[in-house]
Amino acid sequence: MPQIAQLGETYASQIFWILLIFGFVFFVVGRGMVPKVMETVSLRDKQITEDLSAAADARSQADQEEEAWRKRENDNRAKAQAIIAEAKAQSAKATEARLTEANVAIDARMEEADARIASARDGALEEIETVATEAANDIATRIAGVSVDEATARAAVKEALNG
């Protein structure tokens, strides 16, 4: 076993070189480089945390702006609805007014027409009475030989007509 057989002549060299070389590794790599590597890692972790929190902030701000936009949008919609409702009411009112006007005109014309019809009927009745009176006078003269004055005849006719 060379580890033991050569121990006497090699231990000094082994101890010297491993101390020297491990010392080199410790001071150059361990003390010199490893802290830089770990600093890079922690810097990256820090930046990732910061970026994440910035992203969260941006998202909450976006949410707020969306909320505000939605509110504005709802307000505008409500305003538009109000305008539409007002316009509808106005137009309904105008229509009603014109309808009333037209109704009044039609009523007036109908009344006028009724009046005309009534007067025409009255005229016609008068004429019928006159004709009937004359006819009654005639009939009375011819059949009974009685001459009836006109007023009596008319009264009699009126009585017969109106029942």
Partner 1 sequence: MNSNDFGGRRGAVVNAREVEDVAAEQGKVDPMHQFSIHPIFGTEGWEVAGYNVAFTNSALWMIIAAVAVLVFVMGGLKRELVPGRWQMAVESMTGFVDSMLAANIGPAGKKYVPYIFSLFMFILFANVLGLMPLALVGVHPFTFTSHFSATGVLAVMSFTIVLIVGFWKHKLHFFSLFVPHGTPLPMIPLIFVIELVSFLVRPFSLGLRLFVAMMAGHVLLEVLSGFVISGVNAGLGIGPIVSILSFILMIAICALEILVAGIQAYVFALLTSLYLNDAENLH
- Among residues 22 and 69, whose Cβ is nearest to partner 1? 22
120-129: b (≥16 Cβ within 10 Å) or e: eeeeeeeeeb
State the minimum distance, in angstroms, from the CB of residue 12 to partner 1.
4
State the minimum distance, in angstroms, from the CB of residue 57 to partner 1.
21
Nearest 5°: CA angle at 135, between 134 and 139? Answer: 120
d(CA 150, CA 146): 12
State the minimum distance, in angstroms, from the CB of residue 27 to partner 1.
9
Q: Strand, helix or coil at 147?
A: coil
Q: Which stretch binds partner 1 (CB under 8 A): 19-27, 73-81, 92-100, 145-153?
A: 19-27
Options 9, 144, 146, 159; binder of partner 1; rule CB under 8 A: 9
Dihedrals phi, psi of 6, to nearest 5 degrees: -95, 5
d(CA 163, CA 148): 21
C-beta pairs of 148-151 under 8 Å, 24+ apart in sequence: none
Binding string to partner 1 for residues 21 to 60, with x set by CB under 8 A, is what?
A: xx-xxx-xxxx-xxxxxx-xx--x--x-------------
Alpha carbon 103 to its chain centroid, in Å, reads 34
State the minimum distance, in angstroms, from the CB of residue 47 to partner 1.
7
Q: How many residues bind partner 1 (CB under 8 A)?
A: 37
State the minimum distance, in angstroms, from the CB of residue 54 to partner 1.
15
Residues that bind partner 1 (CB under 8 A): 1-3, 5-19, 21-22, 24-26, 28-31, 33-38, 40-41, 44, 47
